[in-house]
Structure formats: C-alpha cells, structure tokens
Amino acid sequence: MKKDIHPNYREVIFKDISTNFAFKSRSTANTKDTIVWEDGKEYPLIKLEVSSDSHPYFTGKQKMLDTAGRVDKFYTRYGKKNG
C-alpha cells in the first residue's frame, strides 16, 4: 500500500444531540471535538442530529409538521397568491 494516501480510520464517538444517545464506532470523518468515553479514554466526537434513537422510523413516533404554515410563508415570500 502507498503511504500517506489513506484517511485516518480511527475509533470515534457518535452522539445524537437531541437525545444524548452515544455509541462508539470507527470513522474517517474529521472533527475537533473530543469526549471521554466509558472506558476512560478520550475519543473524537461527531455530533449527529438524527440517529436510531431519535428517528421516527425506529422510535415509532411521528412529529406533526405545520406544512400549511410553511406553504403560506413560501407563497407570501415569493409573491404567489394562495388558491
């Protein structure tokens, strides 16, 4: 294998910022944040907005979105008349 062409594949912690669910895996993603894990070692931290702990498919909970309000805001912003 050629040297210095492969990304740094290392253990990292992924943390869902909405539920504080965290798990350890491996990744090549770059991050400046770190966290001390359960084993006492410090690992790079990658923050997630959605994980299996917060995604509606895995939790079975649906969030109701105000789509009508969004559509009205879009129409008023771009001048299209509703109807």
Per the prediction, the chain carries an average pLDDT of 81
Is 35 a residue whose pLDDT tops 70?
yes
User: Exposed, middle or buried, 26 (CB in 10 Å: 0-12/13-18/19+)?
Assistant: exposed
Tens digits of residue pLDDT in 38-52: 999 999 999 988 887
* Residue ranges of domains in the chain: 10-78
Nearest to 31 by CA among 54, 53, 11: 11
Is 63 a residue whose pLDDT tops 70?
no
Nearest to 27 by CA among 53, 4, 1, 45: 45
Q: Are 43 and 8 in contact (CB under 8 A)?
A: no
Nearest to 17 by CA among 60, 59, 48: 48
Write down the pLDDT at residue 58.
Answer: 57
Q: What is the pTM of this model?
A: 0.63
Per-residue pLDDT, averaged over 6-18, amounts to: 91
